Amino acid sequence: MSARLIESLGATEPLAEIFSDLSVLQAMLDFEVALARAEAQLRIIPQSAARAIARAARAETFDGAALARETLRAGTPGIPLVNALRKKVQQEDALAANYVHWGATSQDVADTALILLLKKSAAIFDAELARIDKALRGQSAKHRNTVMLGRTLLQPAPPVTLGLKAAGWLASVRRGRVRLNRAISEALVLQLGGASGTLSALEGRGIPLSELIAKQLGLRVPDAPWHAHRDRLAEVVCACAILTGSLGKMARDISLLMQHEVGEVVEPGLGGRGGSSTMPHKRNPIASVIALAAANRVPGLAAAFLSQMVQEHERAAGGWQAEWPTVASVIQSTGVALASMAEVAEGFSVNPKRMRANIQSTQGTPFSEKVALLLAVHMGREKAHEMLRSWSDPKRLNKRTLSQALAGVPEVRRYLSERPDQPDAYRGSAEEFIRRLLRNGRPRRGK
């Protein structure tokens, strides 16, 4: 895995690879190659110089550790990278070395590289989101009639279905997917502004040059350079925070349903996942835990990014320099949450018998809502509510169900023509809500 051990719970292997030193270096070098080739096409620099720069721009031939040390002194990765690239080109063609990084600035390199890394990450996000979408659609359809306790403020409430719960998770993730795709699409733009964002050194050829570079890199050309305007990246970061929160909500539900006292759902235990170093009996909700850790981490990172948006004039003093680790951590944290919950969605198992038993263990008290409404028509709402509150007391029920206890109350028995504590008959509009949630917001192909 291309990440330090301390970061191993904060990234998947593919995303760790994208943000590895080699990948980051190559993204910066890709910008330099595209710049040189576009300039050669416009006859700003010689074709031979562009070819020499392209041949030298191989990340594996650079000393990443040395560049990292020099970046700390330079305050930007662009300066040491350009110096190192120029030295490599000079070994082959001294004249060509003069044209390395022609007309660009160090932030152009760093920002465009970050956007290229984001573009690669987007494909990974979309694959994991597709897994979650497919899996939760299946789980919702499979369990549309699987009745379970509703829980409000962690206490028993009238029944819901697991299908509705899964459809709710899915709808939230779908909204997050739309939001994130839109934000990433807006952010996939080239950064090329030169010294102060006017491309003045290129003598009127800056815009056609930008168009050629963007085409090579698969990016769009913004209306103007955005060195000190970080709103597009901020939208991506915030969209990640919202999506990770949605995944965290699903993870919280799953982990609570896995508690021994509840026992209604179990995460897949692939490869012995979920074990304990000291307690052989344990089956921990590890995938949910990792997603919850990400959901705890990302909001703070998003807040940090937003605080970095207040940047001075045409180039920031501190704000921009703070972004790389923040964005990298947000993207990787979102990715690990997605991968974890995709695994859960595809493989969690359900215990319908335990769900029924948990409903029965309440002695029918969650159905007090239904009884109170039926009685309110005849005796008034306040009186009905107080009567049901009193009869729902465990001491008064003793070992009876609420329905059994009320059967002995003449003024209640006269108005109740059927047993009110039948879970399958008290699902309201759950089925229609499932249909709506599954139908609406379904991503179109390629979106």
Q: Which residues are catalytic?
A: 276, 315
Separation of alpha carbons 46 and 210, rounded Å: 18
SS3 category, 277: coil
Q: Report residue 383 as tokens.
A: 């009186």
**Phi/psi at 130 (nearest 5 deg)?**
-65, -40
Inter-residue long-range contacts of 122-127, CB under 8 Å, 24+ positions, other chains counted? 122/181, 122/184, 122/188, 124/12, 124/14, 124/15, 124/18, 124/335, 125/180, 125/184, 125/334, 125/335, 125/338, 126/181
Contact criterion met (CB below 8 Å) for 230 and 320: yes
Establish how many alpha carbons lie within 13 A of residue 425's alpha carbon, considering only the half-sphere containing its beta carbon.
7
Separation of alpha carbons 375 and 396, rounded Å: 20
Beta-carbon contacts of residue 162 (< 8 Å; ≥ 6 apart): 139, 143, 146, 148, 265, 350, 355
One-letter amino acid of 90? Q
Separation of alpha carbons 100 and 36, rounded Å: 7
Closest by Cα among 187, 120, 122, 126 to 444: 126
Separation of alpha carbons 102 and 60, rounded Å: 23
Burial 269-289 (b: 16+ CB within 10 A, else e): eeeeebeeeeeeeeebbbbbb
- The number of beta carbons lying within 10 Å of the beta carbon of residue 132 is 24
Classify residue 97 by its DSSP letter.
H
Q: Report residue 84 as tokens.
A: 């190192």
One-letter amino acid of 39? E
Classify residue 151 by its DSSP letter.
E
Closest by Cα among 190, 28, 210 to 103: 210
Q: Report residue 238 as tokens.
A: 């915030």
Instruction: Please report, in angstroms and rounded to a whole number, the separation of the first and last CA atoms in the chain.
Output: 29
